[in-house]
Amino acid sequence: MKSKYYIFIAIIVLAFFVGNFAYPKYYNQATDFLNSKFSWTLPHFWEKPYILGLDLQGGVNLIYQADLSQTNDKAGAMQGLRDVIERRVNMFGVSEPVVQIQN
């Protein structure tokens, strides 16, 4: 029965540290307030800036320019080129790729 209480307390302490690691701003504001009111010197959690991945930065944009001087069927050539590029992008498991043809 006592081990359940220890596990519960350990989960609460772990959740506190994980929450402060993810959002240190709130803890640091509280420590600044307490340090100004009392003669304590509570330490701050370090604030590491978030590094945004490609999906949050806006993704990757590639523009290809095709030389269509050797063919008469320009629409068919562009459609085939779009299909090839789309298959190559899908091969890498990119989620929601958008391959477009611009005339």
Write down the domain spans for the chain: 2-37, 56-91
* Gap between the terminal Cα atoms of the chain: 72
Assess whether pLDDT exceeds 90 at residue 21: no
Q: Which two tokens stand for residue 72?
A: 């008469």
Report the candidate in 71, 68, 60, 55 with the shortest Cα–Cα distance to residue 102. 68
Mean pLDDT of the chain: 84
pLDDT in tens, 41-57: 888 888 777 777 766 66
Closest to 68 in 3D by CA, of 58, 79, 81, 77 = 77
Other CB atoms within 10 A of residue 90 CB:
12
pTM here is 0.43
- Confidence check: pLDDT of 6 > 90: yes
